[in-house]
Amino acid sequence: MNTSQQYIQLLITIRLRKLHQEGFANVRFNDLERNFASYVFKRNKPKHLNILTDRILNISADEIIRYLSLDASVSVKKTSLGEILQGVINES
């Protein structure tokens, strides 16, 4: 693990603690890490650490919760489709 990855993990941990203080105790590190990778920085990856730092530390709790909701609905849809396909395959 390089220094940049450690720095990003530290930033996510700091933001996670802030979320916990705001009353979102069920949010986990992996949830935030996945959401930053899958949604926040998917199309627009910051080229500088100061921009990345600002985005991670200053993203609103509302925005994080919206991304978490989106992530949950996408994973449920994938699971549901997988179960449907599994049922079709088993019936054949």
pLDDT in tens, 32-53: 998 888 888 888 888 888 999 9
**Token couple for 7:** 């720095």
Local structure of 72: helix, strand or coil: helix
Q: Confidence class of residue 77 from pLDDT cuts 50, 70 and 90?
A: low
How far does Cα 53 stand from its chain's mean position?
16
* Mean pLDDT for all residues in the chain: 84
The pTM (predicted TM-score) of the whole model is 0.75
Residue 31 host element (H or E): helix 29-35
Domain count, the chain: 1
- Residue 75 in this model has a pLDDT that exceeds 80: no
Residue 77's domain comprises: 3-91
